[in-house]
Structure 1
Amino acid sequence: MGDYEANLDRAFKMLPDIETSDERFIIPEPKIFSEGKATVLENFSQIVDVLNREPDHVMKSLTRELGTAGKIDGQHAVFQGKFTVEAIAEQIESYVNEYVKCSECGRPDTKLVKSDRILMLQCDACGAHRPVRKRKASIEAKKDALEEGETYEFKIESIGSKGDGIAKVDKYIVYIIGASKKEVVKAKVKRISGTVVFADLV
């Protein structure tokens, strides 16, 4: 009997360690880069694989939370607007808490199922299930204060050496031909060069 127990003990020690899904559940840090006025999430596909969710569902949630439009482009996700790594990582974490992790046992061994038209999160580990709630957008895309071709109201604060009216908006200095000091005018942005803006009265 002693030999049997010793052999059994040795056999168990020879077995490979089996990872639980929780141990494997490490979400990659978002890798992003800017492309014009858009933000590209380079490793979107890798993140989705770890979450074990449909790419379209993840994308729909992220665009709603970020308050922007976007699309899946191959392995990447493209969001309209400028976003930081921290902002995207925060929304991925929110997605995990709402659509992946079980609220009872905290494990990611879950799946989304519909019951009477209600989307439910069902845990394969402990059997718990709960409805998922619709979240409201919490972030808005950062938009430039001024854009070429658009018309704005400007308050003229001073007059330049060439007689142009000068207004200040956010980080921009706006030069408007024919505007007088202290008046409020409507002008169309003709050109933006760094923080210098040239506009025409309308």
Structure 2
Amino acid sequence: MYNYNTLLSRAYSKLPARRGSKAYDIPSLEIDYAGDHTMVKNFGYVCDRIRREPRIAMRFFLKELAMPGSLDDKNSLIIYRRVTSKSLQELYSRFLETYVRCATCGSYDTELGREGKVWYIQCLACGAKTYVKPI
């Protein structure tokens, strides 16, 4: 029969290693306007920092706004209508809460994955896997 400390150390040895305890820096969006168009100039950088494909994040933004848009060669998001910066920042916060932040530990150190038609967030800090609504 095992004692409590032996079982506890064995359980901890099976857990994935934590990748770090430093705070994760989430950049804000740099929004600019050119006529009727709204541009998020640092969209590629933001997507790189939160470990999301720019095309997937763009699909979320355009679908939620119900507006046309595209990515340019520098991965800047161009929306073909004028959108307020407040609306874009709120949408960005919702994207972070739904598709980036771990529901278990609250870390932003996650990756978005897909198994067939099912999307999930894999946390790199605690190892949790949370299923999310498809984009």
TM-score norm. by structure 1 comes to 0.52
Which aligned pairs between 1:68-87 and structure 2 lie closer than 5 A? 68-75=67-74, 76-87=76-87
Q: CA RMSD in A?
A: 2.0
Q: Deviations over 1:126-163 (max 9, x none)?
A: 1211211147xxxxxxxxxxxxxxxxxxxxxxxxxxxx
What is the CA–CA distance in structure 1 between the aligned matches of 2:91 and 2:113, rounded to whole Å? Answer: 22
Q: Deviations over 1:151-189 (max 9, x none)?
A: xxxxxxxxxxxxxxxxxxxxxxxxxxxxxxxxxxxxxxx
Partner of 1:108: 108
What is the CA–CA distance in structure 1 between the aligned matches of 2:21 and 2:44, rounded to whole Å? Answer: 19
Match of 1:81, SS state, is coil
Which aligned pairs between 1:1-202 and structure 2 lie closer than 5 A? 20=20, 23-28=23-28, 30-75=29-74, 76-134=76-134
Q: Deviations over 1:28-83 (max 9, x none)?
A: 2x222222221111111221122111110111111111111110012311001111
Match of 1:112, SS state, is strand
What is the CA–CA distance in structure 1 between the aligned matches of 2:34 and 2:40, rounded to whole Å? Answer: 11
Task: Provide the identity percentage.
Answer: 28
What is the CA–CA distance in structure 2 between the aligned matches of 1:38 and 1:68, rounded to whole Å? Answer: 11
Kindly tell me the number of residue pairs found equivalent between the two proteins.
Answer: 116
- Letter aligned with residue 56 of structure 2: H
What is the CA–CA distance in structure 2 between the aligned matches of 1:116 and 1:71, rounded to whole Å? Answer: 25
What is the CA–CA distance in structure 2 between the aligned matches of 1:21 and 1:99, rounded to whole Å? Answer: 21
Q: Deviations over 1:90-130 (max 9, x none)?
A: 11111111111100100012112223531111112112112
What is the CA–CA distance in structure 1 between the aligned matches of 2:32 and 2:62, rounded to whole Å? Answer: 17
Which structure shows the bigger proportion of residues in helix conformation?
A: 2
- Letter aligned with residue 45 of structure 2: Q
TM-score norm. by structure 2 comes to 0.76
- Note if contact 2:118-2:134 (Cα within 8 Å) is conserved in structure 1: no
Which structure shows the bigger proportion of residues in strand conformation?
A: 1
Structure 1: 5+ residue runs without aligned partners?
1-18, 136-202
What is the CA–CA distance in structure 2 between the aligned matches of 1:74 and 1:40, rounded to whole Å? Answer: 13
- Letter aligned with residue 46 of structure 1: Y
Partner of 1:159: none
- Letter aligned with residue 70 of structure 2: K
Name which one, 1 or 2, has greater alpha-carbon Rg: 1
